[in-house]
Amino acid sequence: MRKYNVPLSLKHVHRMVTGPSGTLTLRVVRHLEGVLAKGTIEPGGRLPSERTLATDLSVSRNTVTAAYDELEQRGLIRRLRGKGAFMCSPRGKGGSFAWSGKVSSAAHLLDEPVLDLLSRAGGSELPFSLSAGTPSLECFPTAIFRSTVNKIIFNDFPRALAVAPTEGQWRLRESIGQWLNVEKNRVMITSGAQEGIDLLCRCLVEPGDFALVESPTYPGAVQCLRAAGAQVVSWGTEWSLIELEQLLLRYRPKLIFTTPTFQNPTGRVMSLATREGLIDLAHRYHVPIIEDDVYSKTYLTECQIPPSLIRLDQHSQVISVSTFSKMLAPGLRVGWIIAPPYMIKQLSLIKMRANLFTVPNPPLRNEVERTVPPPAIL
């Protein structure tokens, strides 16, 4: 990322001249327009604070505030709470529209360089890049996948490519439910685990709520929580139950987010005793748990992994999020949420705002499956 000098004062440019017509605020606006047009501050550079600029120009701070308001309305600067005012783009003929001045403050706050780095890691030339947790596609069961897709298209077309409920195609929900030993009405299909985390944050978090999150953790989860207005509270990955109870007492968090199996990025596995203690504390303090379970199926050798939190849960207090992205291929974009039926309904209502349909409708139950071998479509 390019770095720009951060001027603390505008004295090195010139003081505002006296005498031009118009209100004092308008004169300050015109003066700052001239300063920005000269290129003294480059795009992305920070402007002086209101207090500093008021001193430089010998005007009140309220006048500078009003001038900054006007410049922001014109898209020349963008102010971020707690960070200051930043120049959006230079003025002049042929310049591009200043979109950066139109983006909401909330969107600016979501800038996450780590996620951007991970999203670009797919094109890395490194032979064994683990930065994005991507499985080896050379091991993908291509023949089985091709045969399955051919069979579905041959037997179930056109329904296989039609729309389906927001919660996902019932046959896929049923298959995942059988695999994980849960009822299909507790399964919701998502576009990867990231969408599941985002939906849960938007569903559970009110602005100002506290959310208890392991530290360090997956940055995408933190981004979703902050986008929903949560104040993130760190819980160390030593998973101390004493510390956890102190945090529960102090902050009364709205939720706990944890990756107990192959924690990201430490790779640690939470013990069975700690899992049981976590669930017990969450139940006593009435705090729901979001279990990020995307890595539990990725071990390469025989190992004894404790049961997942949702398996140990006796109070329907744990919601699990997972995906095939780490097991098969990230490009499939098939993930799921396991939650009580009431929460599945609420999550589907939120998802409808962006995506009414998830995956295709199933064929009618009374359809007779053709016995002719499927053609080679792929």
Rounded Cα–Cα distance for residues 88 and 299 (Å) = 47
pLDDT-flagged residues of the chain (< 70): 1-22, 89-103, 105-133, 356-378
Rounded to two decimals, the pTM is: 0.67
Instruction: Look at residue 17 in the predicted model and tell me its pLDDT.
Output: 56
Position 258, amino acid: T
DSSP bridge pairs for 318: 289
Instruction: Look at residue 81 in the predicted model and tell me its pLDDT.
Output: 76
Structure tokens at 151: 């069979």
Rounded Cα–Cα distance for residues 211 and 235 (Å) = 10
In a domain, 118, yes or no: no
In a domain, 124, yes or no: no
Instruction: Look at residue 117 in the predicted model and tell me its pLDDT.
Output: 56
CB atoms within 10 A of CB 202: 16
Q: Residue 47 is part of which domain span?
A: 1-93
CA distances from residue 22 to 29, 55, 259 in whole angstroms, order as listed:
11, 21, 60
User: Quick one: 30 and 166 in the same domain?
Assistant: no
Structure tokens at 205: 């978090």
User: Quick one: 68 and 162 in the same domain?
Assistant: no
Q: How many domains does the chain have?
A: 2
Structure tokens at 340: 């009580």
Collapsed DSSP state (helix, strand, coil) of residue 25: helix
In a domain, 46, yes or no: yes
In a domain, 101, yes or no: no
User: Quick one: 197 and 344 in the same domain?
Assistant: yes
User: Quick one: 238 and 181 in the same domain?
Assistant: yes
State the residue for tokens 């968090």.
253
Instruction: Look at residue 164 in the predicted model and tell me its pLDDT.
Output: 77
Q: Domain of 4: which CATH number?
A: 1.10.10.10
Instruction: Look at residue 244 in the predicted model and tell me its pLDDT.
Output: 96
